[in-house]
Amino acid sequence: MKKGKLKEKDYKEALELASSEKIRIKNILDGISSKIKSNLSSGDLRFKKLEKAFQKEFPKGTPLRQAAEELIYLLMENVFILYYIGNYSAVFIELYGFLERFSITELPKLLAVNTGAENIINELIKRKTLPEVSELFLKMGLWNKKDYNFIKKLSNIRNGIAHKNAELITKHVGNGKQIGIGSIDEMINKTDCVPYVLRTIKLLVAITGVIIKRKVMDPRFEARLNAYRNIIPRIFNHFLEPDITSIKSPEIKYLVLTKIISEVILVSSEKLGELLGKYKLKVLEFHKALNVDDKKSNLLHKELIELVGKIFDAMREDLGYDKEIDILKKLNIKKPKL
């Protein structure tokens, strides 16, 4: 029916529609039921197509295949249910929503070295959109430019479906020809969404793969994180704590500090180990001069502050915290002042 003045022909069509049994609720529901049953009958064929494409994209016997299958089993069942019944519009919305939430949830784990930092980063990015977060993954090298462009396209398709924007839909999955709002789902259902499903899985695997490699396949990370987290406050305080200052014998204090610091050196890099060795000798000398020789203790204190800064940086380097310093700056995560 055209906009503007209602023509006699259009008026008759409107009257016929109003009196038609097609718009009665029972017939509407029966029609939807019939459509769903028809779609279900093609579900097995859709799954065969998906499985064939999956086999090609994720070859059997590879780590990528195993990671993809585990991801689908644990998290993506609903996507495949929607695909089976032929609800492609819901598939696109689900893919976008899942990828956005997963990315925002996992990014802090990749950037932070402890729970506190993770919470700060999470607060900074929790209201960002998927395209915004994807820029960070692009900078980190986890996703490439093609991935970034895919995400922008997925975002436009999702927005077109969610906001009933026919122009967006025809621009990104159609031929640019003008369509009405009622034709959006029809056009989406003509779109092959299998490549979108598989590409989304690959992006998710890329994220989880880094986390697994960092925290599981590299056991040094957890060992170093725990060791550094436990000792760094004491290093900042130059071991001026009751359990150390109460030790009067220099020989025993030396043995106690050697035990504490050597446990960290055991898991540290060679560079950090050398710095910790120098720090131990310097802090023992500082304790000895404290309240005895103010001039010497002040000089040693300045040297310790400089040494602590180097130790702090070496620990961050061991943990990989500064590899993406441009991202941290963008998120306003700054190194604490000593």
If you search the block for the tokens 């986390």, which residue do you land on?
A: 211
Kindly report, residue by residue over 102-161, the tens digit of the pLDDT. Answer: 888 888 777 765 556 667 777 878 888 999 989 888 887 888 999 999 999 999 999 999
> Residue 141: left if φ>0, alpha if ψ -120 to 50, beta else—which one?
left
**For the chain, domain boundaries:** 42-217, 220-330
238-242: long-range contacts, CB 8 A cutoff, minimum separation 24:
238/283, 238/286, 238/287, 238/301, 238/304, 238/308, 239/283, 239/287, 240/287
User: Which is nearest to 82 in space by CA: 97, 69, 68?
Assistant: 97
Give the tokens for residue 86.
Answer: 């032929």
Cα 131 to Cα 13, 67, 119, 146, 170: the distances in Å are: 45, 24, 21, 13, 20
Q: State mean pLDDT over 308-318.
A: 90
Examine the pLDDT at 323 and tell me if it is beyond 80: no
Q: Which residue has the higher pLDDT, 244 or 178?
A: 244
The 10 Å CB-count burial string (b at 16+, else e) for 56-72 is: ebbeeeeebbebbeebb
Mean pLDDT of the chain: 82
Amino acid sitting at position 323: K
Q: Which residue has the higher pLDDT, 170 or 40?
A: 170
Examine the pLDDT at 330 and tell me if it is beyond 50: no
H-type helices in the chain, by residue range?
8-19, 25-41, 43-57, 63-75, 77-84, 88-111, 115-125, 130-140, 145-162, 166-172, 184-189, 194-212, 219-236, 242-245, 250-265, 270-289, 294-319, 325-330
Kindly report, residue by residue over 82-107, the tens digit of the pLDDT. Answer: 999 999 999 999 999 989 998 888 88
Provide the 10 A C-beta neighbour count for residue 13. 13
